[in-house]
Structure formats: C-alpha cells, structure tokens
Amino acid sequence: MMMIRKIAITALTALSLSGGAAVAAGDEGHIEDFAFSFEGPFGKYDQNQLQRGLKVYTEVCSGCHGMRYVSFRSLGEPGGLGYSEDEVRAYAEQFAVLDEDSNRQFYDPEAGEFRTPTPADNFPANFTQGAPDLSLMAKARAGFHGPYGTGLNQLFRGMGGAEYIASLLTGYTGEEKEEYGTVFYENHAFPGGWISMAPPLAGEDVDFDDGHSNSLHHEAMDVSAFLMWAAEPKMMARKHTFLLATLFMVVLSVLLYLTNKQLWAPHKDKLKKKDED
C-alpha cells in the first residue's frame, strides 16, 4: 500500500512539473526571425545599418538606457561603424561623464564634477530610470531557444538576441492595463505578455542621412543590429579566424592523409607480394 502511494505521489509530482514547464514555455513570448546581414558563418555587419542604429540609440534609447561597457573609440575600429577619429571625438562630445566615477553616469548636479569625454571613455551609464544597460543586451536575451552555444541553430542563426530586441520593439499590440499604480503594455515578444516599458519606437522617430526607410520595422532592425554589434564588436574578426582555422585543418588533414599513404605504400606492397607468394 505504501509503495502504491509513493508511486502515485511521484506521478502527480511529475505531472505538475511538466504542466508548469508547459505554462512557462507558453509565456516565453513569440520571437520573429528577422534577416540580419551578420547571420551565419559568412555573414558580416552592414556598416550603414550600424550607423543608422547608432542614431536611433542616440536620439531615442539613450534617454533611458546606457551602454557603460562600450567605448567611443570602438566606433572607429576595424569592424565597427567606420567613423574617423574626428567623427568619433565629435560624437563623444555630445555626452558628459563624471570624472571621478568609473560608472560614468549622466549629468547629475549633486554627484560631482563632469567633463567632456574623449574617445578613450565609455558610453555613459544611465541609472536614473531604472532601465537595464544595453551593452550586452543582445547576448543576454537569446531569442532562439535550445542549448546555448551548440547546435546548427546557433551556428547558422546565432543566439537570436537581435531578433529578440527587434521582436520586442515591434511586438506591442496597443493594449494597456494598470496594476498597483503601474501601467503595463501588451507585447507578444516579452515573457508573460506584458511589459512596463512604453513603446519606445513608433516609426519615423528619426531621419536617416542615407534616405533609408524609417518605418517601425526598419528602425527596430537597425537599432537591434547596432546593439548586436555593441555586444559582439569583434564578431567579424572571430568569424574570419574560425574560417581560417577550418581551412587550415582541412589542408592539414589532406596533407597528413597523403603523407600517411606515401609512408605506408612500400610496406603495403611488401605485404601484398608476401600474400601472393
């Protein structure tokens, strides 16, 4: 009798856990598969798209979100946005950093002395709104689920962080609700379906110098690509190294095979003659 009760309890526990897992999986949100240029082993960043994404971040996102782990000078480094040193310096001068504080907060009259940053400084952090830092957001938010860093899904489509951000920015339905004095907005991509952040983009929020479309879809893709670069600025260099290493291993394997065949050929002939005798 005790054995039957234990089996029944175990079965009920397993069913409850599987049910909870199913509910949790249903609350993960729906992630769209956007076609980014940097996807796949041969993909690379679109420099014009990164520049447009920086403009969206500067004019819209930076009011609430910082990027404290990204340096200004990386904008001009190989694989970056292609800016000259003067352009990087001019862009950095739009901000103010706290001289004694490594957190580099936005201007606060009560915090201390501030100065104009140089290219060696990082983007300012922003703690005033309680919003998350965006430096590593594209890596922290994986849009495509599965074993992290393994499988063909991750090899050809990446971790999906850029897709998550783009899906979030375009996933608002327009529905709102208020709970305990906080307004929540329905969003298909956000886990749980409701998010406290109001829609940051509406389309036509910025004007691009290259005449590219500034619809909501394109603005979301551009800033998502830029945030992917912010999280993985050396992605192109790593892909290049990977391809060179793969090519080297293929050539080495062929050479080893041919060398092995050449070394053992005389011995094989002797064994063959011996067998014939």
Looking up residue 180, the CATH number of its domain turns out to be 1.10.760.10
Instruction: Please give the tally of structural domains in the chain.
Output: 2
- Residues 166 and 197 reside in one and the same domain: yes
Tokens describing residue 240: 């290049």
Same domain, 254 and 215: no
Instruction: Give domain status of residue 190, yes or no.
Output: yes
For residue 129, which amino acid is it? Q
In this structure, the answer to whether residues 117 and 248 fall within a common structural domain is: no
Residue reference for tokens 């951000």? 165
Q: Is residue 229 part of a domain?
A: yes
pLDDT for 43 beyond 90? no
CA dihedral 181, 173, 216, 146 (to 10 degrees): 100
| 203 and 245 inside one domain | no
Mean pLDDT of 251-262: 85
Q: What is the pLDDT of residue 104?
A: 45
The end-to-end CA distance of the chain, in Å, is 77
Same domain for 100 and 133: yes
Distance of CA 34 to the CA centre of its chain: 13
pLDDT per residue over 67-117, tens digit each? Answer: 999 999 999 998 889 999 999 999 999 888 776 544 444 445 455 577 888
> How confident is the model over 116-128, as a mean pLDDT?
86
Lowest average pLDDT, out of 87-96, 97-106, 209-218, 230-239, goes to 97-106
Q: What is the pLDDT of residues 48-73, one digit of tens each?
A: 999 999 999 999 999 899 999 999 99
Whole-angstrom Cα distance, residue 59 to residue 81? Answer: 17
Kindly state the average pLDDT of the residues 26-50.
84
- Provide the pLDDT for residue 5: 44
User: How far apart are the C-alpha atoms of 83 and 210, rounded to whole Å?
Assistant: 15
Q: Do residues 186 and 248 share a domain?
A: no
Same domain, 242 and 213: no
Question: Which residue range is the domain that position 259 belongs to?
Answer: 236-266
Do 254 and 141 fall into the same domain?
A: no
Residues 132 and 144 in one domain: yes
**Do the domain assignments include residue 10?**
no
What band does 9 get if pLDDT is binned at 50, 70 and 90?
very low
Mean pLDDT, the chain, rounded, equals 79
Res 107: pLDDT: 46
pLDDT digits (tens, 9 = 90+) for 130-151: 789 999 998 887 766 544 445 5
Predicted local confidence at residue 217, as pLDDT: 95
Distance CA 122, CA 66 (A): 10
Model pLDDT, residue 12? 37
Decide if 68 is inside a domain: yes
Residue 160 in any domain: the answer is: yes
Residue 99 lies in a domain: yes
Same domain, 160 and 250: no
Residue 276 lies in a domain: no
Question: Are 90 and 171 contained in the same domain?
Answer: yes
Please indicate, yes or no, whether residues 144 and 252 belong to a single structural domain of this protein: no
User: Tokens for 171?
Assistant: 């996933």
* pLDDT of residue 185 exceeding 80: yes
**226 pLDDT exceeds 50?**
yes
Whether 191 maps to a domain, the answer reads yes
